């Protein structure tokens, strides 16, 4: 048996890790190898009821919300998500908590003991990648823990993602779709939507967040072709309104049901919409869940998702990494900071290569109200390639005051120096940027 999970994850990471870089080669993403590995280990992906999620943003939060609702109904629920902030262990949770270490070591032992023989059966194909082994480990762990449900988040795209080997999930959820990984998923938004729709299965119902008309057309057409019922959130939810108590209380106004007030542990209207999607899907999957107390959603918190790690001055970590998501994060941050304080706010930003930093800069910085006037650009760790100099140039074009400090330790020291005891700080651009600051303890 492995001595520790750190040893196990090091062995996994020694494989080809496609998460660390964007190759632009769709052929590197395939399902035949993953299907054969799962078959060798007894198809653990089909051991329990699966709720499968794809989308460009909001997957982790939506997964956590629907898992909490399932748990409130008495179910034993595992969640597989990515990426992690500090440790691979964060990708696997049981009932909202870390999994039992002993069960994980036993699972790893089973996997590593059988892996050499399993890979011999791959007909000469290349060995499993890091993400494939992490995904297989998650399937086997949740089977060992006898979970009744697994909430499963796609890593990239959907159609060729390693998670897309589940034979027949209970439901599919699609969170908001934006331009991302264009060199892999396609240069048009409709191409990317088509990749997300690749997780649809015949007859399996789909619940979908609000989307652009073009994206919605692609998703609806695919669902119809698969004979899958399709429920757009806009069909059931009229609007979401903020309550007077700030960015954590929201009123959900349903079209065919009484309005509901929810309190969330993660701030922002985008989180309210994520929660609404989870609620709608949960009530569709398990009709008897209509009476579950939604108050439990206030206890759902995830690292790097509008994470308040200091209140005086206000400092928030958020892993937003698309133009719309950073816009939503900035709006929530501004509401929490207040107009006077936000005028002096500092943005610490870092994003990986392949992200639309030009558009994110235009959304976040500039002369307008609710935009940052002082930006520190840094490197979002070493997990993925990045070009902070190019990112800094994008922010300079907005007219904001920009400082390029590539070393994240020095960047954070500069932020603390500038913030003093009064200036609020937002750290965003990627989960890896948030992770760098989280490792420093805020």
Q: Are residues 82 and 112 in the same domain?
A: yes
Instruction: In whole angstroms, give the CA distance from residue 307 to residue 116.
Output: 41
Q: Are residues 264 and 383 in the same domain?
A: no
Q: Are residues 291 and 407 in the same domain?
A: no
Question: What letter would DSSP give residue 54?
Answer: E
Q: Are residues 432 and 405 in the same domain?
A: yes
Q: Are residues 323 and 267 in the same domain?
A: no
pLDDT of residue 244: 67
Q: Are residues 111 and 41 in the same domain?
A: yes
Residue ranges making up the domain that contains 403: 307-439
Instruction: In whole angstroms, give the CA distance from residue 250 to residue 253.
Output: 10
Q: Are residues 252 and 338 in the same domain?
A: no
Q: Are residues 272 and 360 in the same domain?
A: no
Question: What letter would DSSP give residue 198?
Answer: G
Instruction: In whole angstroms, give the CA distance from residue 273 to residue 287.
Output: 20
CATH number of the domain within which 390 lies:
3.90.190.20
Instruction: In whole angstroms, give the CA distance from residue 165 to residue 180.
Output: 23
What is the C-alpha radius of gyration for the chain, rounded to an integer number of angstroms?
Answer: 21
Taking a C-beta distance cutoff of 8 angstroms, is the pair 83, 431 a contact? Answer: yes
Q: Are residues 260 and 325 in the same domain?
A: no
> Which of 276, 299, 322 lies at the terminal end of a domain, its last residue?
299
pLDDT in tens, the chain (442 residues): 788 999 999 999 999 887 765 444 544 568 999 999 999 999 999 999 999 999 999 999 999 999 999 999 889 999 999 988 888 999 999 988 889 999 999 999 999 999 999 998 886 578 899 999 999 999 999 999 999 999 999 998 899 999 999 999 999 999 999 887 767 787 799 999 999 999 999 999 999 999 999 999 999 999 999 999 999 999 999 999 988 666 899 999 999 999 999 999 999 999 999 999 999 999 999 887 777 889 999 999 998 999 998 988 999 999 999 999 999 999 999 989 887 778 899 999 999 988 899 999 999 998 888 899 999 999 998 878 899 999 999 999 999 999 999 999 999 999 999 999 999 999 999 998 998 898 887 5
Count of domains for the chain: 2
Instruction: In whole angstroms, give the CA distance from residue 208 to residue 219.
Output: 9
CATH number of the domain within which 122 lies:
3.40.1190.10
pLDDT of residue 25: 53
Instruction: In whole angstroms, give the CA distance from residue 57 to residue 65.
Output: 14
Instruction: In whole angstroms, give the CA distance from residue 180 to residue 192.
Output: 8
- The candidate with the shortest Cα–Cα distance to 236, out of 196, 216, 207, is 207
Q: Are residues 115 and 253 in the same domain?
A: yes
Q: Are residues 196 and 265 in the same domain?
A: yes
> Which of 267, 299, 331 lies at the terminal end of a domain, its last residue?
299
SS3 231: strand
Longest dimension (CA), the chain: 64
> Which of 264, 281, 299 lies at the terminal end of a domain, its last residue?
299
Q: Are residues 340 and 293 in the same domain?
A: no
């Amino acid at each position: 048996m492995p001595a520790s999970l750190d040893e196990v994850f090091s062995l996994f990471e020694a494989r080809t890790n496609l998460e660390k870089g964007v190759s632009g080669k769709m052929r590197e993403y395939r399902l035949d190898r993953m299907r054969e590995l799962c078959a060798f280990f007894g198809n653990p992906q089909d051991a329990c009821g699966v709720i499968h999620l794809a989308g460009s943003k909001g997957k982790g939060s939506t997964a956590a919300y629907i898992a909490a609702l399932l748990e409130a109904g008495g179910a034993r629920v595992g969640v597989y998500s990515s990426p992690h902030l500090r440790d691979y262990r964060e990708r696997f949770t049981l009932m909202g908590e870390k999994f039992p270490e002993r069960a994980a070591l036993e699972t790893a032992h089973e996997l590593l003991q059988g892996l050499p023989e399993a890979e011999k059966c791959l007909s000469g194909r290349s060995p499993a990648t890091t993400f494939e082994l992490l995904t297989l480990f998650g399937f086997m762990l949740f089977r060992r823990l006898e979970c009744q449900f697994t909430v499963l988040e796609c890593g990239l795209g959907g159609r060729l993602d390693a998670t897309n080997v589940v034979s027949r999930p209970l439901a599919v959820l699609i969170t908001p779709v934006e331009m991302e990984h264009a060199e892999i998923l396609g240069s048009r938004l409709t191409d990317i939507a088509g990749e997300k729709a690749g997780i649809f299965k015949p007859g399996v119902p789909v619940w979908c967040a609000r989307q652009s008309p073009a994206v919605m057309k692609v998703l609806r057409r695919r669902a119809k072709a698969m004979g899958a019922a399709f429920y757009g959130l806009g069909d059931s939810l009229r609007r979401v309104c903020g309550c007077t108590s700030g960015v954590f209380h929201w009123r959900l106004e349903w079209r065919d049901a009484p309005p509901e007030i929810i309190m969330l542990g993660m701030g922002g209207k985008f989180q309210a919409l994520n929660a609404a999607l989870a609620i709608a899907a949960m009530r569709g999957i398990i009709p008897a869940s209509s009476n579950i107390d939604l108050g439990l959603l206030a206890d759902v918190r995830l690292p790097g998702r509008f994470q308040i790690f200091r209140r005086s001055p206000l400092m928030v970590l958020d892993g937003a990494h698309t133009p719309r998501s950073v816009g939503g994060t900035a709006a929530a941050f501004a509401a929490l900071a207040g107009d006077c304080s936000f005028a002096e706010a500092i943005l610490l930003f870092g994003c990986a290569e392949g992200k639309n930093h030009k558009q994110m800069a235009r959304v976040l910085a500039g002369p307008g109200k609710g935009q940052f006037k002082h930006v520190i650009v840094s490197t979002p760790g070493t997990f993925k390639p990045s070009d902070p100099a190019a990112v800094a140039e994008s922010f300079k074009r907005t007219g904001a005051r920009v400082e390029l400090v590539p070393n994240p330790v020095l960047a954070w020291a500069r932020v603390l120096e500038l913030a003093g005891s009064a200036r609020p700080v937002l750290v965003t651009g990627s989960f890896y940027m948030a992770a760098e600051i989280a490792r420093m303890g805020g």
